[in-house]
Structures are given as structure tokens and as C-alpha cells.
Structure 1
Amino acid sequence: MANKEFKLSKTLYGHSLDVRSISITPNDDIVSGSRDKTAKFWKCNPFQNTHEEVMSYIGQKNFVASVLYLDPTEEFPDGLVVTGGNDHVILIYKPSEPFATFTIKDHSNTVSCLAKTQETNAFLSGSWDMTAKHFKIINGSPKCIATFTGHAAAIWSVLQLNNTKVITASADKTIGVWDNNGQKLQSLTGHTDCVRSLADFPELNIFMSTANDAAIKVWNYAGENLNTFYGHTNYIYSIARCKAEGAECFVSSDEDRTVRYWENGVNVQSITLPAQSIWSVACLQNGDIVTGSSDGLVRIFTRDESRYAEESALIKFAEEVEALQRQSVQEIGGVKVSDLPGREALYDPGKRAGQMKMVREEGKVVAYTWVLDGDNSHWEKVGDVMGGTDKDSTGKTMYEGKAYDFVFVVDVEDGKPPLKLPYNKGDDVYKAANAFITKNFLPADYLEQIVDFILKNSKEQYVPPTNAAYQDPFTGGSRYTPSYQDTTGQVGTNVDPFTGASSYATSTARPASSSAVSNSGGNADPFTGSSSYTTTPQTSFGYFPVCAYRTFDAGDPTVILKKIKEFNEKLSDNKATDEDLEKLGLLCSGPVNDVLSYELLFKLLDWPEDMVFPVLDVVRMAVKDPINNNLIVALNDGQIMEKLKKFISNSSNVPNNTIVGLRSLCNLCVHDAGENLVFDNRFDIVESITTLGQLNKNGQIALATLLLNLTILSIRKNDDLGYSVLVQVLPDIITKFTDVESHFRIYVALGTLVTQSNLHKQEIVSKVNGNQNFLTTLQLHSFGGNDLENKRGNCVKQLQKLL
């Protein structure tokens, strides 16, 4: 038996969220507590090797943080089940009843731990309120008979030693030692981080502690640190003695997804689980190990071959472990999948309507959005997050069934999906480049440039410099893409949305050309009707895909400056000088050699809401210049985004600010610094714009343009998560718009998303076709009328062909 390994024996399903605490009865029954607000009693049947759920205890208003089973007494012949909650309450149940017999409200914060005492019908509790308490049921009701105070932070574990002393483990990095009446005797130091769990070994007159410092320490009853064991690589949440295995045999569990079995200080076996956090571990009388983990499951592991799970269950368990190990190196949208929370994250309410959240579910990543509906507000599933960088357990990237050190994403032709260039260190670089050219039907004279690209970038990724970045062998730029012309979409009216005059305009009216509604596949710009829309030869879709960001260019710096000066005079203090404002106005036309002008721009963005719009217009015009774009993004470490997000949120009370804020974000995209800043904040931006109220025509056009740019951005970055969000947002938002041009731009964005999403096309089409409200709107918009409605209708017909 001693030479056998622990293997999975059984998995207990019943909880819907993290299992945070485990307690064992003398009959090897299991009590579990979960973030789903319940505790459960699992009855052991040793003859059939089963544990069956026989009772679910309800009553905690928030998650169950701790559980305890009290042994039977004459007064309570079936024993008692005790739970401690995040609602600060302790509940005491008779095992056969789902509702609490006793309620204790003596703590003022989460009751994080519970423990037996040597007295009957008595127990200890520890709390985040920095106190521990001793309760005893006297004359039919529980009473607090001692309180332990003195810690400077939350208590995570409490225990009564065999010598009746009470010890407490705290987030203040110390272990408190107390007499039974609450008098502090010692404060033990040695751990360098939060102390999480305690276990008593009475035969040896020692106890052990675990902490967030990944150390297990051994202490004698006098408080001396006898030894320290290392092996875990992350927070150690729980430790439990294995009575059946020997005097100094124990198990520990942690945040590195392992349970470790120890004999005499030696880590004999490590069991990896398919869960990020192993919150609790305990041992049955027969030596089996019980775990409670972040995936909501209770698992039992055994050394006894007769209790091993069936082979199919063992294979499934191994596959689940391997899947999570792959996720530990997999990234989606720049976020490690293993860093994402499980379904427990959906327990916490959203902060605002439209908030997005990603969670791990059964080996997948799923996106949710917060739906605000009074008492029925809830997280609603958006859908599975598509793609990601699929890597194997060694960190290599998987491509077409083979693992590679590098899989470069290459934009070779504007308007076409990016290509993948796989390469392994040590391979013949010319052979790899030639295979790439042959597979993708590229010109042979690209060979030397692609070889140079591979050599430079594989070296940079292997030994990254401080400014590590890909180099385009054709342009020397940071993206591997041929240069293209950013085509300005100038739409709308030439009426100043702020003053009603024609002199302070941010766009110029252009009638729709007949060529703009043509489906011939010519190179007319679908936004302006002009012939300057010349990126690459058009596909059969005349309106999409669009690959160049759309911007808002028109504006008179003289008029903007005049308005700023006018508002500056109205200020009672902190006025800027005319000389400084003149320099500020120059930013509309290009960079200025004075950092104070950029700092002044940031300062003026804090003007009162009814005065700030011309300052925002300076931002809109300034960021079109590449130097300005870089400087404004770099100043104050990207804080320009926080200021712009304020103006596009539903907390903004001035519609003009919202319009110019949206236009500024559109213009930010046209250069690398701004493009990267928008990409890093894309989900916050989407959350803000999806909660905006009704917008006027100019606002709708600005918002539609920003969504189009975000679509182009997701495609340029090959952003799988962005695809998942946009396929939800674009169809929904078009049903709320009234402006025809805004409809058109959203349809172009959706058509671009469908045609350019490459491997995810069918999934995106399926999601769009599942939105009945959108399909109804799509059908209504397929009919024409005036020139603008005809353009929208033709675009809709092209989109319908794709769907």
C-alpha cells in the first residue's frame, strides 16, 4: 500500500461555485461549504465506495467560507453542522435539517474558519474582523465564552492544541498563541506573508502552519520553529494531518493547482488538479484525501487500488489536467487564460450595465455582460470567446497540428486576412521562408526579405530587447504590412454641432455618388463616393471589407482657438495666458516644440463640462499627426484615455463632449501609439458606448465610426476576443440607431468583421443569425428611398448574401 500512488477515486458533483471548506465526520462523511451559499452533507457508503449528497444547508446570505462537523452528544445525537459565512453570520444545523437551528451574529466580517474544541457542543471561530471566538451551547443556546483579540489583520485559521492552548493564523503574518480564556501568550513570527492554515500533531507535541509565502513551518508547543518545508510554488491554502498514514504524514493544497502528500518532511507525491485554486484539503479515516477546489467540485483520492476510479474517469481527469496546463500558457486578447476566474466571478454583481467579464468554463473561455434589471440584474452569457494562441504544455504554439517556437502573424496584403508564418529555432530559415511563399502564392522576390524578417524576429523573441517589437522587412515599421493610404471619411453636415453655425465644423457634407451605391466592385470609397478609395483590388463586395481607419478631419484651428479664449476669460482663476493658448492652437496643425503646451492641453481637459468641448476638439485634430499622437499618448502614462473615457460615458451630461470624445478616439487609431492605446482599452470603451443614452445624428455617426474602427483594429490585431464582443455589440446597437448613415457604417463594420474574421467566419455568421431583432431590422433596411437609403439598402443586400 505504501508504494502505491494516490489516484482519483471519485468526484462529487453538486456545488455550482468554489468549494471553500471541507470537514470530515468520524464516519468519513463529508461536509462541504461553497461560494454558491450552500453547505452539503455527503453520506459515506463504505460497502459501495460512494458518497451521496443527502442534505443541502441553506441560510447563508453570501458564500459559505467555513464548515465544521461537531461530534454527537446526548443533547444532539446526530452531531451538528456549523457554517461560517461571508455575511458575517454563523449558522448551526442539525444534520438532517436544511434550515439552521441556531444563528450567531457576533462577528462583524467574514467567518473564515471554524474548529473543534476539547469540550462537547463547543467550537472556535475566526474572522476577517481580526478576532477569534469560543462558543459553547449552554442551556439550549450558543454563547460566546471567550474572545481573542490582538491581531492586526484578518484571521484565516484557528485551532485548539492538545494542551488546550488556542492558536490563530493571521494575514498580519503572525501566529497568535492564547490561553483558553482569551489571554494572549505569544506571537510567533517567521512567515513572510499571510498565514493561512494550521494542523495539530498531538503525538509529537508539534503543530504546522502554511502561508502565502509557499512555506510549511513546524513548531513545537513552546513556540519554537523546528523546521521549514518547501515544495509548493504558490500560496498554500490548507494543510491536514493524515492519521491513517503515520505520525508525521500530512497533505497540503495551494494556488499552484496541486495537492502534495508528505511523509516525514518529504514531498512523496504531488497531485495536479484541473482547477486553479485548491482551497481546502482533508483526510478520511481510511487515509483517502478529500479536496475542495475553485471548479466547484469535491474530489477524493486514494492509494487503495480497489477504490480507484474507473479507467474512463481517470483518463478524463488526466485530459482535464492537461487542458488547464495548456491554458496556463494560452492567451486571448493579451490575457492569460489561466489568470481568468472561474464561474465564481459571476457571483459578484457588475458595476454598471454592459460591463464585460470573461470566465473559464469547462476548458473554454466564455464572455458575459451585466444586464441591469432592478432586483433581477444578472450576468448574461454573450458567448464563447473564439480562438486564442493555442500553445502546448511546453509553451510552443500549435499550428496545423504541429508545435512551433514562433508563429508570426503576417499582414502581406491590405484587405486580406493575415497569414501565419511558422518557424522553429534551428530550422533551415530559407526552407521555412520558401514554404511560406509557396503555400500562400507570394512573389519569389519576397524570399530574402522574409528570411531577414524571420532571423530578426526569432532573435528578438528569444532574447527580447527592452523595446522588443516585430520589424516589417518591407517598411521597417513595427507591423509586417505594406503601407497604405488612410482614407478619410468625411460625412455628416457642415453645421457646427455646438453653435449651429457653419464656421466651426468638424466634417463636410458630401453627396453620395452613384458609384457609392454600385455593387460592381470598383474602387469608389463607400463613405464619400470618391475615387480615392484605393487600397487593394476590391473583392466582389463593394462596401466591405474596409481596412483603413475612418477619421474626422475638418476643422478650423482659428475658430477653435477663439472659442477656447472666450471660455478662458470666463474663468475666475487659473487662467491661461494668450501666448500659451496660441501655442495650444498650433497643435491642431502639427507638433510644437514645447512640452508645456501638451501639459496645458491636459490641464484644460479638466475645465467645466460646458466649456471643455473646444479643448477636446484640439485633441481630435492634434492626434492625426504622428508626433502629436505619440506625445499625447505618452504624456502622463496614457492618461489621455482616462479623460476621453469620461466624456463618452453615460455620466457625461454634455452631448457635445460625447460627440467630440468619440471623434477623438476615432482619430487616435491612425498612428501606432494611439492604436495600441485604444486596443488596450477596447473593452472599457465598448462598455461605455453601449450604455450611452439616445444620441443625435452627429453622435450616432461618431459612435458608428468608432465601432467601425474598433472592428478594423480587431482584425489588424487578429483579436479573437474582440471578434466575440463585436459580433454581440454591432447587431444590437444598429437596432437603436435612427440615422441612415450610421446604419450604413455599422453594416460596413459587420460586413468587414464577417469577411475578415478568417477561421471564425462561420461562428460569427451563426451568432448574427441568432439575433432575431437584428434580422428584422436588416430586412427593413434592405429597401431604398433617397440616395442615402439606397446606399444603405445595397450594403444590406451584400451583407444578406454573406449571412
Structure 2
Amino acid sequence: MASSAAPNKHTWQLSAILTGHQGDVKAVIAPTDSTVVSVSRDKTARTWKRQSTNTFSEERIFLGHSNYVNSVAFIGASEANPNGLIVTGGSDKKINVWDPEDASQPIYTLTGHSDNVCSLYADTDGHIVSGSWDKTAKIWRNWQCVYTLEGHTQAIWGVLELEHEVIVTASADKTIGMWKDGKKIKTVTGHEDCVRSLALLPGIGFVSCGNDGAVIVWSNNGDPLQALDGHTSFVYSLATLPTGEIFSSGEDRTVRVWQNGECTQTIIHPCVSVWCVATLPNGDIVSGGSDGFVRIFTRTAERVADAATLKAYDEENAAASIPANQVGDIKKDDLPGPEALEQPGRKDQDVKMVRVGNVVEAHMWSSAEQAWSKIGEVVDAVGQNRKQLYNGIEYDHVFDIDVGEGVPALKLPFNVTENPYTAAQNFLDKYELPQGYLDQVADFITKNARAVSQGEFASAGDPFTGGSRYTPGQSSSSGGSMGSYNPWGNDTPKTQAQPAVKRIVPQLTNVPFRDANLPAILKKILQLNTELASSGVALNDSELTQLDALIKFLSSPPKQPMPQPQFVSLLLKIFNTWPEANRFPALDLLRLLALYSQSPAETPDLLKTLLAATRTHETSLMLVARLVVNFCETELGKVVAVQDLEGTLEVMEDDAVWQSTNKNLKLAVATVYMSYSTLLLKRHDDDALAIQYVGVLTKILEKERDQQVQYRLLVALGNLIFGHESARESAAIFGVKEMLQSAVLSRATSEKIATSAVANEIVKLL
């Protein structure tokens, strides 16, 4: 594992942490020593450039997919494509091909798969092999599909090309297929569960891994040569080096290093799922995790991270929870105390459990460092039953949610280390269900699922601090449907017809932005502060102490808002003196502070100042929009928000906002409209303003196609029409009914229940 000790030729240590993704990092690749490409459930691909021996910065964000991006490959430079090409595949069934220097749009989009494209391979000639949940693999040449490989009975999770144009496929049907010229030439068996990934092993053959926890080495002919045993849960990804070393990553928080059949190092991660691992040409390795971080590890001294970063990383690992079913049966009373750590381990990576009070700690022995390192605290596992498979992914629970008579139950998948509110929000977003049911769905999850960590669910994060929006940690635990649940009635299973869905409009409650990964925000500010050390604007020791106090305040906020003007002053110093690109963590903390303190609202002209300074910077404007929404959580904040309403909405209706491809920005602004509409419901003297914004919302809705953004805009429009007679009368002038028919109702599908429902309610109001 990474540690602050000096590296040697056998020890991999943390080199860099790449922060920016908003969701799980599902695949990574490193075309050069200085370039990393990552893809994520946040629907983006990103490129990262080396800035120094142990730092990378985000270079470009590629936004061409409409759903999770799950796979990536790279085609080397050629005369036709001197920059090489990035290839990405996603849940939207598409394969996009990009110029690495141009993120504006894909050069090519390859269509043909009927489900998630979860694996990609590209050779030096530009040939692409893709694998999909549709049970097929496809071979693409000159951007056309030349072969479709059919024969597997389940999803294809891994693809590879061996010598002599032999294609290898790994499938959830527990088999490996070998193909030539579009025809299967061999079926390879040996895994006891789904096969997840493949990697070339030069001079020998290839390697496979799977849900059975096994890593198996095969010859080029598909003959088994060696099984590598060590992982304690699913193994998701593989990579190799010319040295013959094999790297595997999985659900047990680790990347494992193998050589000559032995595990030579276990690199612990502070996230449950290490989805992917790849190698750099210089011999370093890169991983992607369920916490949204990309991490690079090295055994070259000059590329090791600084001591502070190593210490923070070790502390993150030590604070993590380990499910008991990953370490076997434990009798707490029989465990030794911490004095047992005075004895050296029997071998490298030996794991020892010790009892410290009522807590069971896991420690790992490092032969290189001759020391034990705490790798986490062991918590009770949920059980030993298999997970449930939903859409090709394993979950601890898959709940049935009834939405009404004659409508099939909707599936809500859930892992016990997720935040139940995040899972509930994802469910509402997917099926476009009313936001008002968030608490009911989350409460149902909480009552029917047991957490792996010590009585708590994982904390949610913020997309612009490097944290993750959700952490689908899939520890082996009990699955099973808990029956069906109707969020519009009670939470007992239903078998008879359900009552009608309650009315959406008017929505009287605000929908604040509460999610935050405070450790990640703090870490980002400290990183930026270090980079600004010689600039004269860095925080001093006293201000850093105040920053720690702010994080503690937000970690355990009071039940009633309380004054905290010193925190506002600190954050405004960062905002006013730091470079524009570095302001966002301060804005993020300010929007959180507004939930629990009236001090932001008491600051004169705060919203006006922030809006004027951020209207041309998408990330900062998004965070200011979230701040406006959170203002509406306190009584004084509501007063100030209404006072600044016209100026705020003038910025929010700017064409640049609605022409942006940044969904987070548009969703935040749509929520501002929704928040203001709830305030205007109680202010019947603002008819002129209500009429004005019926026109603005109608214009925006004519073009906006994102369902979640559209839903919140529709609720805002519905509130205005419900609460103001003059707004209803003006709807005919603005063509609201015609807009709803063409932009919403004519495009209705079974997955757009809520947008259709609120549109129909508005039509009835008219």
C-alpha cells in the first residue's frame, strides 16, 4: 500500500491523485507517460496532462455521451490522425471516436449495439473491438462494423485481440470465446462465475479475471497455465507490463501486483470498488475507483507524491471500513490487543486483526518497510448470499416500486454502502418522478436495507471537488427484493391496484443542494493553497485553522441557523483574491454554509457580487445558482433572494446558460427557477414578474431536452400558472399549451412519467 516511506524497486507508492470526475471512474488508459484518459458514470471522458513529476491537471472534458461512459481505448498516431484517437463506449449504446485535442464533438459515432458498450480494444491499425450487454462483440474497420460475434448467452464484459487477428471475449456466461474471421473457434472454460476482463501477457498469452475472485493465465491457444489466488471479492480489471507483472483490481479495495505466480504487493484504496487499472509506458500504474478519483502509483523515487499527500492518503485508507465477509469469520473476544503489532508479520502483506476497545482494526505487514499499517476497521457484513443482478450489474438489493394501477413496478437497485438519499434521487431522475417523493423513497430504503459500515450510509459528494456523487460499494452481501413499494401511499408491499399519484403542482417545498464531500473540498483548498504559496494570497496559519473550524461546523451543523460571519469573510477572501479558476471550492463551502447560517444572507450585496463575477464561468455560476437555492432554506435568505430576484433571473435566462452542454449548470439554474416559483406562490402582488417568467420558461422549454432539467422547469412554470391568474391568462399569448404538446407530451415515453404528468397538470390548469 502507499506509504510515506522511501520507495524501493519492489514497493509501489502513490504518485498523484486526479480529481474532477463526478461519479465512478469505470475505465482508464495511458497513451503516454504524460497523458491519462479516464471515463466515468458522470457521462464524461477526461484527459489529464502531467504538470510535474507527481502532478497532473485536467486538460479536456469530452461530453458526447448521454449516459454512463464505461469503456475507453486509444488508437495511436498516424498520418491521418497525428494526435491519435480516443475511443469511448457507454450506456447510451454508442461508440464515440475523438481527436484528443478537440473535445467539442466526436469525429465519428459508431452505432449498432443495442445495449451498454462496456468494453473496448483498439489496435495500432485503427481496428476496434467492442463488447456489449447485448451479448455480442463487434469488429470495426474504417468506422464500419465488419463482423458481429454472436454466441455468448450473457453480456460481454471484456474484449481483446491476440496475434493473427484472433479475438478473445469474456462473458457473464462464465466462458471465454476465441474468434477468427467472425466465427468462434474455441470456447474456454475455467471461471466459476462471470468473466469481467482480459489483458495481453506478451510472450505467454492472456490473463482473465472474474466475479469468482480468480485471476487466470492462459496460453495463446486458450490452455490454462496458472491461477492467481488472493482477491477476496469480484475482480474487475487487468493490466500487464513487459516485465511480466500482472495488475488486477477489484471489489476488495485493492490493486494487486503479481509476478511469477505470487502476489508481490497489495495496494489498498480508500474506496470499495477499484473498477479499473492500466499501465503507463514508464511502468507506473493508474487506477479508477467508485469514489470518483483517478490515482497513479509509481516505484520511481522522483515520481512519488510529497509527504503530506502520502500521509493524507494513508489516513484515508486507515479510516475506511472493511466488510467482515472479506476477512472471514471473526470472534471479537478472541482477538489480541494492539500489543500483537509489536511482533513482525510472517510474510509480506500478512493481515492481522486486533481489538482496540470495541473496534476491530485490520493491519497489513510491509516487508519493505518492516512495519504494520492500518488498512481499515472491520464491520459486520450483511450476509453471505449472492447479489442480485440488475441490468448486468450486481446489487445488494433490487426493490420493486409500484407507481400506479396497470403500470409495471419500477426497479430500484441499491448497494448498502450508498447514501439512501442519493440512490433515491438517482431513481427519481431516471424515471422522471416527482421530486416531492425523495424523502419517502429514501425512508423506504433506510428501513429495508442494512448498512455495511458502522450503522451509517456513505456520504454523498460534490462533483466539482473531486468527490463522488455516490459510492455503489458492492460488498458481497444479501440480495433480494423486499417486495414492492408505493411511494405515494405507504411503504408496505402492494399486490392490488395503487391509489392515483398525488398532484405535483403546486410544489411548495424548496429542493436544496445538501450533498458534499467535505474532506475532498478541504483537500482541494489545501492543494490550491500550496500552489499559491508564493503568490501572496495564500491562506495563513490562522486562516487555515479557521478553515478547519468551518469544516467541523459543516460536518455537524446545528438544527437552527446561527451566525458565522467569520466563515463568510474567510470564503470571500478566497473568492476575491484567488485566481478565477481556483475559486470554486470556496463557493461550494459558501453554498453549504447558507443552509446552516444566516451570515451569507446578512452579507450586503453578496448574490449580486457573486453573480456579476461568475456569469461567464460555468462551474462558478453553477455553484452560485446552488447558493441561491440554498438561500431559500432560511427565512432571512428567502427575503434576500426575493430582493435580488430580478437581477438573479436576468443572469439565469442568458442564452449562454441554455446553450451550454453542462447539465449541472442547467440543473442548478432550473432549480433556481423552481425555488423562486415557490416564493412567488405566496406573493400575489408580483403578477408582472410571474407573467414575464412564464414567457421566459416557455422559451427555454421549447428547446431543452434533458428530462431532469425539463422537469424542474415545468414545476416552476406550473407553480406560476397555479398561483397567478394573470400568468394563466398570459399562457395563451406565449403558446404554453402548444409548447407542452410539442416539446413534452408528443415525446412522452414510459421512462418520462413525471414530465408528462406535470405537463398534463399544467394543461388542465389552462
Specify the TM-score bucket, using the shorter chain as the normaliser: 0.3 to 0.5
| RCO comparison, higher one (Cα < 8 Å, 6+) | 2
Scaled by the length of structure 2, the TM-score of the pair is 0.47
Scaled by the length of structure 1, the TM-score of the pair is 0.45
